[in-house]
Chain A
Amino acid sequence: MKEKLFRFIKRYRLFLILLVINLIVLLAFPKTGNRSFQLTYQNLLDMLSVMPPIFILLGLLDVWVKRETMIKYMGEHSGILGVLLAFFLGSAAAGPLYAAFPVALVLLKKGSKFSNVIIMMGAWSTTKLPLLLFEASAMGYRFMLLRFVLDIFGIAAIAFATEKLLSKKEKEEIFKNAATLD
């Protein structure tokens, strides 16, 4: 019990420290502190509302999709199909970029090609379909379309460059590290 509490505090220590600071701010400057808590609370609610389905689908993907299947469709020799799948997977997802890390981890574990994982993250961060409609209504269609087209090339270029700039050994390290995480 005591050990469990200790582990909890150790893992959440930075958060707890900042929480205390925020509470002090709340006492010293009620207006700013209050706003800060309200924004945090709102963001937390937003986040918690999009995350459950992502993680459930992630768990199912992990359990049901065999490593061989993933390698076949997104692995080293998956070619253009793997690239398209990575784009689709990222674009269809919801949630901020940090929600993509666990997804990337599963892809790495199941033997997806490294550049395809980076493409998935790129698509996840910028070319999300529901977000595009939202972007068009807020910024106009010209803005959205131009950014969308540029982003597609950019995401592919970033993935290609990251893959090329890492040595074979460095990539092996990443895959090895992924296998130890969960």
Chain B
Amino acid sequence: MTIIFYVFAFSALMISFAKSKEKTKTALKKAWKSFENILPQLLLILLIIGMLLAVLTAEQISSFLGARSGFVGVLLASLLGSVTLIPGFVAFPLASALLHSGGGIMQITAFVSTLMMVGIVTLPLEFKYFGKKATILRNSLALGFSLMVAVIMGAIL
């Protein structure tokens, strides 16, 4: 999938370059600037995630998030998912492993959903773009929604 993006971006870049050298240069400069803008926070986030995952083992996680952990487990899973921020390509194998080693559907769904939608570590970054109120609104609504999805999926599956 990433390859498609590279091909697409490269083609777009070529077309842009054929149309205007100047504008393409500006575009690349802007691309670099917006990347460098989030780099400090990004590196910080990656280090925090690395440290968290290094300290916690998969067994420890699943003992807290088993099917019998009930709603407390769901809340714990949401908290964990909100704090951690790992890409879906890592999250789903982890979620699947948790599920097979005794994690409950409700807890795992809450974990996956908050993992993707709620970002506590990235709050400062989001504040910068959307201001405090909109950021807190979006994150709390997403958290509430994640809990709802967890309960619904737990009931159906």
Contacts and interface: CB of A to CB of B under 8 A. Distances in A.
Do A and B associate with each other?
A: yes
Interface of A: 11-12, 14-15, 18-19, 22, 25, 32-33, 35-41, 43-44, 46-47, 49-60, 62-64, 94-99, 101-102, 104-105, 108, 118, 121-122, 125-126, 128, 130-131, 134-135, 138-139, 142-143, 146-147, 150-151, 154, 157-158, 161-162, 165-166, 170, 173-174, 177-178, 181-182
B117 A125 contact: yes
Q: Interface size for chain B: under 10, 10 to 19, 20 to 34, or 35 or more residues?
A: 35 or more
State the majority secondary structure of interface residues on A: helix
B60 interface: no
Nearest to A103: B34
Nearest to B1: A130
B101 interface: no
19 contacts: A12-B43, A22-B50, A39-B54, A40-B51, A43-B87, A53-B6, A55-B32, A62-B27, A64-B27, A97-B85, A97-B122, A98-B42, A122-B117, A134-B88, A139-B92, A142-B157, A146-B152, A157-B145, A170-B134
A128 B117 CA distance: 12
B134 A39 contact: no
A33 B133 CA distance: 37
Contact of B50 (A40, A51, A63): A40
A42 to B, nearest CB: 8
A98 B27 contact: no
A151 B92 CA distance: 16
Interface of B: 1-2, 5-6, 8-10, 12-13, 16, 23-24, 26-35, 37-38, 40-51, 53-55, 85-90, 92-93, 95-96, 99, 105, 109, 112-113, 116-117, 119, 122, 125-126, 128-131, 133-134, 137-138, 141-142, 145, 148-149, 152-153, 156-157
B32 A97 contact: no
Contact of A170 (B30, B55, B93, B131): B131
A45 to B, nearest CB: 10
Given A105-B129, A146-B156, A54 B5 contact: yes
Contact of A174 (B27, B31, B113, B131): B131
B89 A60 contact: no
Contact of A96 (B16, B87, B112, B145): B87
